[in-house]
Amino acid sequence: MTRRARLALLALGGLGVATAALARPAAARRAAVSAVPAGLRSPVCWLPLPFTPAAVRVMRALPQPPAPIRDGVTVDERTVQAGAGRTPVRVHVYEPAGRARPSGAVVWTHGGGYVIGDPVGYHDICSRLADELGVLVVSVDYRLAPEHPFPAGLEDAYTALLWLHESASELGVDPDAVAVAGDSAGGGLAAALAQAATDRGEAPVCFQALVYPMLDDRTALREDHAGRGALVWTAASNRFGWTSYLGSPPSHDHAPDYAVPSRRTDLSGLPPAWIGVGDLDLFLEEDVDYAERLEAAGVPCELLVVPGMYHAADRFRADDPRMIDFTRSMVDALAMGLRRRAVDGGTG
């Protein structure tokens, strides 16, 4: 059982979920799990994972075991500040051995529905990116909702991006080869960060890698999800996450600029993108729609939809060949995006 599955079990135990309820899952859950290929099934698939205020308190109280770090990659935890009046932000900086300078860089924002999560849980993917791409990776410990609703998380991520640009010479980074990436809510933050950076024009982003990103609060307003979202991240959790982040329940009428990436009407001029999602994921439709709209706006976007993949399956079953290929696709897309920008000298 993976580290995250164990944490989920502990959280549920702390909330007093009865063992009998876990041993006799509802027919709907059995049907949902049966749609998952055997190799992708994880114990977490059988567990109800309600994101509620009580559940979030328990999850945050649990110790977060650090994910493994690639050999040859050092991690430096520091507090950074950029721009007048900005709140200092804690980041983890991943430095691969023998990095050629200047290199590209990646700003990573972690998942967790905007309400949980910690960079240490992503040491594995961040150190992998640093190692395989030969780049500096900055993972942002952004403030979490509901205590810190929008725009706190986005502005923390922007502070890290701005610091990376302002310190590019010292860090040995090519400012024309800086990408953003993240998963789930972190993927949504990465998309919003790319939008804000494009509009503000002071910290360019050359590529965005969005791993099953949380892009559209209006998904929380729908009743029919065609059977998707039954595993790990559900419609109820989605409503809680968006309500926490926005500071009020989602509405069809309005959302603040940059809070909900899919609400942006004009996607032209944004950096090229990679978007990956499973066809059992609650976010399938919003992710496919965003990819298609990027392409229609003239923004190159590679879309990968994996049959039988539920939300965050790559974290729970990283050893499955489908998940190996999924992550490989994301890493390769980042490599291509960074390399193209470096070769073009920031002009293409």
**Is 79 in contact with 87 (CB distance < 8 Å)?**
no
- Among the listed residues 141, 217, 281, 314, the single catalytic one is 281
Cis omega (within 30 of 0) for bond into 146: yes
State yes or no: is 281 an active-site residue.
yes
Residue type at position 9: L
Environment class of 147 (CB within 10 Å of its CB; exposed 0-12, middle 13-18, buried 19+): exposed
Pair of tokens at residue 227: 């059977």
- Among the listed residues 184, 237, 244, 262, the single catalytic one is 184
State yes or no: is 311 an active-site residue.
yes
Cα–Cα distance measured from residue 270 to residue 279, given in angstroms and rounded to the nearest whole number: 25
Cα–Cα distance measured from residue 284 to residue 229, given in angstroms and rounded to the nearest whole number: 9
- Among the listed residues 287, 311, 314, 320, the single catalytic one is 311
- Beta strands 136-141 and 207-211 are unpaired
Environment class of 49 (CB within 10 Å of its CB; exposed 0-12, middle 13-18, buried 19+): middle
Orientation of helix 123-133 relative to helix 321-344, angle to 10°: 50
State yes or no: is 217 an active-site residue.
no
Pair of tokens at residue 251: 């509405």
- E strands, 147-239, are 173-183, 207-211
Cα–Cα distance measured from residue 119 to residue 139, given in angstroms and rounded to the nearest whole number: 6
| Cα-Cα-Cα-Cα dihedral sign, residues 54, 60, 62, 67 | positive
Annotated catalytic residues are 184, 281, 311
